[in-house]
Structures are given as structure tokens and as C-alpha cells.
């Protein structure tokens, strides 16, 4: 049973949605080949390395800060020059053995510590939002695709409605209207609310084609329940799609969180976030470029790594299916 | 065709109504009392009551919503500090913080947002098409890989970071561009152009990357189609095959996305306008958020939704006109 493979394309296929096809018999062999291909792929490995580094930095931020010596909320008045408009002392934004990435102009807070704590916000928001959108997208996509009828109509209408929304402006509006008690949870909820239809749409269309296949029909003929068919027969065939979509969703959410924080409606000070740091650095760009370059670089590399990783996984799955 | 158009317009109105309702509910339920904000520091409970009555804030929710909706079509009147302010249709509300009609504030800023959107669109369309076609022609070779890396980077850099890097490099470090100053086009076209150059580039880079990928994928797919093979087989020159047979079907889907992207940007490029201090609709959004000016936020949200939804409709119609396959499907 060999089925022609297709590319899992996110938005690039207006009109015709992709159909997932996978050879079921050669699953273990294909899996090994996939893993080997993945481990020998240089861009994928570099990206994964950077992501792991940032994850470790986020998890162990309190410990790392103990080693580096300065916490994210401590002001170091000795590192800035009060006579020069409080710009950092020393070259490159005050980079020294004392302050590894220099200090913030004006306040003298340690940039390294704020980067480490900012990684926590980025990762928490992006990974939680990805988790939530994946669950919502898979559940609603499966429901709409498998059951069809009025369930499909209702879910599809809601998805169209959410996708017609000017999401960024609306997120800004909601976040500015809501009280600012727990911004991180709020960010995750708002991002997920507008994020899930993009995954659900693809899960739905693949479910539509999968449910017509022989193995689903034979399961149904042998008396399997609807839940069994959905979770045991259809869902496993969607795994690679879901993995790719989820990986490619993460950079979008990292960017959204940073952008919202940059605009001042995301994470509120004093909690550090990369986007917020860049916003704070903007007025200083001419006198202290390191202040925006450091968080900008971390943010850029993280988004780039997740995008590259998602791209490589997609390419590898695509090519292994062709060969299988 | 008329039935198709009718159902699309109806669906569009329903979505617009839902967006209005949704936005209104959020501001009605969640936001702090505007009367308290207007009243300011020396406030008495009687004064607040008076303001609430003036603004109709003491009315039940549905009545207030109805006033807002009917104001969009027939206009309405506000009592501000004893004087009556008429807000002609389409009335998007009155900003008590700036003392201006919201529709006037938006109309003043719309040309700037349109300038930014259109300039950037020209850049990214040209860049994306050239990059995409070149990648497709050299599929798997150096040019293709070069553009693949470039698009990955361009897609990953947040536009506010790019804006700061460009400003630092081009203005501060190299001095190639002057510091941006607000100059009207008629006064000094050269300075005007240089002012908009960086915003255009910053906005265009991300889109150009997406268009490059899309064009590449579409062109490669089309080149494998049977009708292209037939055209090649019957001995047409390769430039004729490209122009007549390959490019048109490959570029049709791009029209759809292009229309949607422009429509999305007319509602304001919030981040780009904020970074460069350009007084467009996006900057207005950002400013009204920091000052919590709800009538403005509400109006901008509605306006953006309007542009996106109308853009969607226009693109669908255009698409039907360009692609014969869709035309027959719509007629059937």
C-alpha cells in the first residue's frame, strides 16, 4: 500500500488543502530513517542546540543569576555615568566581567540577568500557547472533519469568524481593556484564542480524507466505536502534521508575545521580557546600541531556530515518505 | 454570479456585526468606567452621575449598543461640557480625551497608513516575485539555497528589531540617510521619500520572504503541470511557455494573498508606525491604548475588521475574474 506523498503546507495552498498520506507498514523503518536524517541535519541540530540552550537558561535562571552575581531587579548605580545622561560606563554598553552583557542605561540593571529571566516569559508564553492551540486545533479539527454535518458547519463558521478578525489589533484591544493581574496567563489565552483555527483547518481537511480510507472502513465494519476510530485510527496518522504545525507555530507565538510586550500591552515591568527590553532600548538606539542589539539578537535567533527546525522536520518527513 | 455576490455580502455584514458586538461587549464589560476618566481629579459622585447620564452610560447594554450601531448609519449627538457636538454618519464615536470626533482623527491619519502600505507592497511584490522565480528556475542550486536562507532570516527578524538596526546602521553609523523629519510631499519630495524609505523596507522584508516562498512553490508546481509539458513538447519557445502558460497560473494565488495583505495593512501597521513615529492609524491605535481612549480603540478595531472583510470580498471577485476555473465553479 503505497500512497503518493504530499507536502504539509501551512498557508501556501489556497483552494486545495493538502492530503496526508503515509505508508503504514514501514512505520518503524521510516521512523529510524527519519531520526537518522534528523540527527545528521546540520541546520536542524544547530537550531535544536540553541533552543535547548535558551530552555536551560529559562529553567535555571535563578541559579545562573547567582553565578553571574546580579539579579534582574537590582540597580547598579556604579555601572552608569550620572554626568553623561546615565549611559553605561565602559565600551559596548558596559560589558565587563561584572556585567556580562552590560547594563541598562538609566537604571544600571544587569542585562544578562534580564535576558535570562526574559527567556522564561518567552518560553512559557510560547510553549503554553502552542500546547493550548494544538489541543484545541486537534480536537475541533477532528470533530469537524469526522462528524461533519452541523458540527462541521458550526466549527467552520467559528473558525472563519476568528480568522477574519484583525487579530493583532484585537489582541491589543483585549489586553489593554483587561485588568493586568496575571499577564502571562492572559497572553496565552488571547494568543490561543486566535491561533487554533489555523491548525484546526488543516486537521479537519486531513481527517476528511482519512476517514474515507480502507483502514477506517474496516475498523468501522468490525464494530469499532466513533471514539476508537478517531483516537486510534485517525489521530496516529496525523502525528507528523501536528508535530510540524506545532513547531512552526512556536516562533509565531514568540514573536507575538514579544511584539505585544514591545507595544506595552504584554508583560508589564518590572518583569523582564525581551520585547519589552527592546521597547525600552528604542530611545537609546543611537547612544547605546548594545542595549537593543542583545535582546534583539536573542529574540531573532530563537524565532529563526524554531522556524528552521519546523522547516527541516517538514522537509525530512516529506522526503522520507517519498522514499518509503 | 449575483446570487454568489449577494450571499458573500450578507455573510460579510454578519461577520462585521459580530465583530462590533464582540468588541463592544469586551469594552462594556471589562473596561474601567469612562465617566470616571472624563471627570478627572476633582470629582463628586453627582458629577459622575451627570456625565453618565449625558453619555447614556446609565442605559442598559442593548440600548447603548443600539445607539452605537445606529450612530454608524444615521449619526448621533454628544453633549460635551454643555455644548452639543454633532457626529455625522458614519459616527464612530467621540474621543473625550482629545476632544475630537473619532472619524476625523482616523481620516487625518489614513493617508499616511495608505502611503506606508502601498510603498511597502510595491517593494515586497517586486522582491518576492523576482526572488521566487529565480529560486524556482535554479531549484536545488546555489541561488535557490541562497534565497531559502535569506527568507528564513527575513521571516524571523521582528520588524521593530530590524527598524532599530536599520536606523542605527543607515542613520547613525553610516550617515547615508538623514534623521526622519515630518515633511509633506509637496514641500520636499526628496526628504519625504527618504523618510518613508526605512518604514517601507522594514514592513516589506517579512512579506517579501513569504512571497518568495509562495512564488517559488507555485512556479515549481506549475512547471510540472501537463499543459506546460504540452506547450514545451509542441515546440514553443521557452520564453513564450513562461509568459503564456507558466506564470499566469503560478501567480494567480498571489493576487489573493496580496489583496488580503494590503487590506490588513490599511488598518495601520501598528509596530512600524510606532517605531518610526509616523502618525498613521497604527500609531493612533498604539497611542489610544496607552491613554486608554476606548472610543478610538473600538473604532480602529472595527475599521481594521472592515478592511480585512471587504478586502476578502474584493479579492474573491478578482480571483473569479482572473481564473477561469473558479469562474465556472462559481457559476455552477
The whole-number pLDDT of residue A135 equals 93
- Under the banding of pLDDT at 50, 70 and 90, the label for residue B124 is very high
Please state, in angstroms and rounded to a whole number, the distance separating the CA atoms of residues B268 and B280: 6
Mutation for B interface: A126, A153, A177, A277, most B CBs within 10 A: A177
**Chain B CB within 8 Å of residue A167 CB:** no
Please state, in angstroms and rounded to a whole number, the distance separating the CA atoms of residues A49 and B150: 21
What is the overall mean pLDDT for chain A?
A: 78
The whole-number pLDDT of residue B309 equals 82
- Lowest-confidence pick of A75-89, A270-284, B55-69, B212-226: A75-89
Task: Please judge whether B152 and A262 are an interchain contact, meaning their C-beta atoms are less than 8 angstroms apart.
Answer: no
Q: Which residues of A touch B259 (CB under 8 A)?
A: none
Output the nine-digit C-alpha cell for A302: 530563537
Long-range contact pairs involving B9-13 (C-beta distance under 8 Å, separation at least 24):
B9/B313, B12/B309, B12/B310, B12/B312, B12/B313
Q: Which residues of A touch B97 (CB under 8 A)?
A: none
The whole-number pLDDT of residue A11 equals 37
What percent of chain B has pLDDT above 70?
88
- Under the banding of pLDDT at 50, 70 and 90, the label for residue B31 is low
Output the nine-digit C-alpha cell for A160: 472563519
Output the nine-digit C-alpha cell for A186: 492572559
Q: Which of A225-239, B115-129, B225-239 has the highest mean pLDDT?
A: B115-129
The whole-number pLDDT of residue A20 equals 41
What does the H/E/C string look like for A94-109? HCCCCCCCCECCCCCE
The whole-number pLDDT of residue B33 equals 66
* Domain spans, chain B: 2-102, 103-331
Residues 45-84 in B contacting A (C-alpha not used; CB under 8 Å):
none
Q: Which helix (H) or strand (E) holds A144?
A: helix A111-147
Task: Please judge whether A170 and B301 are an interchain contact, meaning their C-beta atoms are less than 8 angstroms apart.
Answer: yes
The whole-number pLDDT of residue A86 equals 65
- What Å distances lie between residue B38 and B1, B80, B85, CA to CA? 51, 10, 16
Q: Is A225 in a helix, a strand, or coil?
A: coil
**Chain A CB within 8 Å of residue B292 CB:** yes
User: From 2.30.29.30, 1.10.3720.10, 1.10.287.70, 3.30.420.40, which CATH number describes the B103-331 domain?
Assistant: 1.10.3720.10
CA atoms within 13 A on the CB side of B128: 28
Q: Which chain B residue's Cα is nearest to A310? A: B152
Contact A168, B158 (CB under 8 A): no
The whole-number pLDDT of residue A132 equals 94
Instruction: Kindly tell me if the per-residue pLDDT of A9 is higher than 60.
Output: no
- Under the banding of pLDDT at 50, 70 and 90, the label for residue A264 is confident
Long-range contact pairs involving B219-226 (C-beta distance under 8 Å, separation at least 24):
B219/B132, B219/B133, B219/B136, B219/B137, B219/B246, B219/B247, B219/B250, B220/B136, B220/B139, B221/B250, B222/B246, B222/B249, B222/B250, B223/B136, B225/B249
- Under the banding of pLDDT at 50, 70 and 90, the label for residue B209 is very high
B91 Cβ contact list (under 8 Å, min separation 6): B71, B72, B75, B76, B101, B103
Higher-confidence residue of A25 and A127: namely A127
Amino acid at each position: 500500500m503505497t500512497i503518493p506523498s504530499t507536502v504539509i503546507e501551512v498557508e501556501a495552498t489556497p483552494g486545495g488543502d493538502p492530503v496526508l498520506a503515509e505508508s503504514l507498514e514501514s512505520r518503524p523503518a521510516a521512523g529510524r530513517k527519519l531520526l537518522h536524517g534528523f540527527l545528521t541535519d546540520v541546520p536542524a541540530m544547530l537550531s535544536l542546540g540553541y533552543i535547548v540552550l535558551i530552555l536551560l537558561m529559562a529553567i535555571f535562571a535563578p541559579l545562573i543569576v547567582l553565578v553571574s552575581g546580579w539579579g534582574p531587579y537590582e540597580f547598579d548605580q556604579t555601572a552608569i555615568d550620572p554626568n553623561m545622561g546615565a549611559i553605561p560606563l565602559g565600551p559596548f554598553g558596559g560589558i565587563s566581567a561584572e556585567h556580562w552583557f552590560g547594563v541598562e542605561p538609566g537604571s544600571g540593571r544587569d542585562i544578562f540577568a534580564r535576558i535570562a529571566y526574559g527567556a522564561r516569559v518567552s518560553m512559557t508564553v510560547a510553549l503554553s500557547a502552542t500546547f493550548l492551540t494544538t489541543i484545541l486545533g486537534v480536537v475541533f479539527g477532528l470533530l469537524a472533519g469526522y462528524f461533519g454535518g452541523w458540527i462541521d458547519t458550526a466549527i467552520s463558521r467559528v473558525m472563519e469568524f476568528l480568522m477574519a478578525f484583525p487579530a493583532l489589533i484585537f489582541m491589543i484591544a483585549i489586553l489593554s481593556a483587561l485588568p493586568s493581574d496575571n499577564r502571562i496567563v492572559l497572553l496565552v489565552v488571547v494568543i490561543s484564542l486566535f491561533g487554533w483555527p489555523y491548525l484546526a483547518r488543516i486537521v479537519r481537511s486531513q481527517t476528511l480524507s482519512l476517514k474515507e480510507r480502507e483502514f477506517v472502513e474496516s475498523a468501522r465494519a468490525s464494530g469499532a466505536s466513533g471514539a476508537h476510530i478517531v483516537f486510534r485510527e485517525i489521530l496516529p496518522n496525523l502525528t507528523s502534521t501536528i508535530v510540524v504545525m506545532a513547531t512552526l507555530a512556536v516562533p509565531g507565538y514568540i514573536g507575538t508575545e514579544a511584539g505585544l510586550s514591545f507595544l506595552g500591552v504584554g508583560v508589564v515591568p518590572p518583569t523582564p521580557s525581551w520585547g519589552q527590553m527592546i521597547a525600552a532600548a528604542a530611545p537609546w538606539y543611537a547612544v547605546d546600541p548594545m542595549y537593543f542589539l542583545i535582546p534583539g539578537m536573542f529574540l531573532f535567533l530563537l524565532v529563526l531556530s524554531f522556524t528552521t527546525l519546523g522547516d527541516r522536520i517538514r522537509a525530512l518527513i516529506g522526503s522520507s515518505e517519498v522514499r518509503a | 454570479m449575483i446570487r454568489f455576490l449577494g450571499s458573500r455580502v450578507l455573510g460579510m455584514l454578519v461577520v462585521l456585526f459580530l465583530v462590533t458586538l464582540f468588541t463592544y461587549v469586551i469594552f462594556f464589560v471589562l473596561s474601567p468606567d469612562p465617566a470616571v476618566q472624563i471627570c478627572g481629579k476633582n470629582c463628586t459622585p453627582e458629577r459622575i452621575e451627570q456625565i453618565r447620564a449625558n453619555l447614556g452610560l446609565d442605559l442598559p447594554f442593548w440600548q447603548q449598543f443600539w445607539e452605537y450601531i445606529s450612530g454608524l448609519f444615521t449619526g448621533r449627538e454628544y453633549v460635551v461640557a454643555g455644548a452639543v457636538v454633532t457626529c455625522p454618519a458614519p459616527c464612530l464615536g467621540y474621543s473625550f480625551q482629545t476632544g475630537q470626533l473619532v472619524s476625523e482623527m482616523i481620516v487625518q491619519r489614513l493617508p499616511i497608513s495608505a502611503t506606508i502600505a502601498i510603498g511597502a507592497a510595491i517593494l515586497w511584490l517586486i522582491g518576492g516575485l523576482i526572488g521566487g522565480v529565480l529560486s524556482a528556475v535554479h531549484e536545488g542550486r546555489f541561488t535557490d539555497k541562497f534565497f531559502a536562507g535569506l527568507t528564513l532570516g527575513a521571516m524571523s527578524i521582528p520588524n521593530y528589531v530590524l527598524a532599530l538596526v536599520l536606523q542605527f546602521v543607515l542613520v547613525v553609523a553610516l550617515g547615508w540617510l538623514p534623521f526622519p523629519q515630518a515633511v509633506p510631499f509637496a514641500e520636499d519630495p526628496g526628504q519625504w521619500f527618504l523618510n518613508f524609505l526605512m518604514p517601507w523596507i522594514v514592513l516589506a522584508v517579512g512579506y517579501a520572504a513569504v512571497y518568495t516562498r509562495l512564488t517559488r512553490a507555485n512556479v515549481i508546481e506549475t512547471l510540472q503541470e501537463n499543459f506546460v509539458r504540452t506547450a514545451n513538447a509542441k515546440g514553443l519557445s521557452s520564453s513564450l511557455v513562461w509568459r503564456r502558460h507558466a506564470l499566469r497560473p503560478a501567480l494567480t494565488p498571489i493576487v489573493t494573498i496580496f489583496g488580503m495583505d494590503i487590506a490588513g495593512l490599511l488598518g495601520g501597521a501598528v509596530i512600524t508606525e510606532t517605531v518610526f513615529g509616523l502618525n498613521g492609524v497604527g500609531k493612533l491605535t498604539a497611542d489610544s491604548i496607552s491613554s486608554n481612549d476606548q472610543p478610538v480603540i473600538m473604532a480602529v478595531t472595527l475599521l481594521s475588521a472592515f478592511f480585512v472583510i471587504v478586502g476578502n470580498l474584493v479579492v474573491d471577485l478578482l480571483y473569479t475574474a482572473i481564473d477561469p476555473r473558479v469562474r465556472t465553479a462559481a457559476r455552477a
